[in-house]
Amino acid sequence: MNPKFGLLKKDYRISRNMFLTWGAAVILALIGGIALSAYWSQPAGTLPVIILIGLLHFIFAPVFMLGLLNIEAKTQLWLYTPRRGIELIFSKFAVIFTYQLILQMVLTIYTAINLFWFGRQVYDQIGMRLFLEAIILLNILILLFGFYLNSWLTFLWTVYHSMKNVAKLVRWITVIGIVIAYNMVESLLLSATPLRDFLFQYQINVVSDASLSYQDQQWRAVLEPAQIPVIPLLWYLLLFTILVTAAARLLERKVEV
């Protein structure tokens, strides 16, 4: 067997139960949303469920990655593997990407069912073409943002565990200090009007704002477009590359947890 496929198979095996648990919880929430909305005769009641599950998808990747890394920390397998750090990380990223893609497809189908069938009387009708354009873009943005957070989680985790000879308090101070320092620098840069104007000069419109409106004893789901800047996405992609590369280098030091 190709070693890379063996690595993927191992990561799928150790993460299967976590995914099944998360997936079952999501499906139960989606079914419960329709069931309660039908019981109360308020089809728009599924909108909060869609928003909540959508928001959870933003943190799915880092939460799942943390679980996988902690499993590795218990087994110490990376101490004996000949694989490069970047391969170990991207194997887990590939597994998480597959899982998240499945979950987002489920949510997409659920949203379409509510928009065009179950809640068609109370959801703003945007047309199939606009729906497909919006849902594809939103799914891509959720994946990108989730894996951006994932890169931070992976980097900070490797930083923490690379300091095995340092007191835990100092480790935590270092990790928190990195986060605070980055946010301070980013806020300082964004406070400069010319730079802020440059970053936000190119934007795309996507139907992503959703709210509830009560009219004639009936809740209605209102869908509105929102603007998303393009240039910051490129910066986050670059930062993702830097963080993952740094995490891989730290992982290759074969640090024992």
Q: Which amino acid is at 134?
A: A
Does 256 fall in a domain?
A: no
Q: How far, in whole angstroms, is CA 101 from its chain's centroid? A: 10
The predicted model scores a pTM of: 0.83
Which tens digits make up the pLDDT trace of 223-247? 566 677 778 888 899 999 999 999 9
Instruction: Give percent above pLDDT 90 in the chain.
Output: 35
Q: Which amino acid is at 247?
A: A
Does 130 fall in a domain?
A: yes
Does 102 fall in a domain?
A: yes
CA distances from 250 to 158, 179, 204 (A): 6, 18, 37
Does 257 fall in a domain?
A: no
Domain that holds residue 100: 3-251
Which tens digits make up the pLDDT trace of 120-177? 676 655 667 777 777 888 888 889 999 999 999 999 999 998 888 888 899 999 999 9
Does 26 fall in a domain?
A: yes
- CA–CA dist 184, 19 (Å, integer): 35
> DSSP label at 164?
T
Count of domains for the chain: 1
Does 147 fall in a domain?
A: yes
End-to-end CA, the chain: 29
- What's the CA angle centered on 128, arms 123 and 133, to 5 degrees? 105
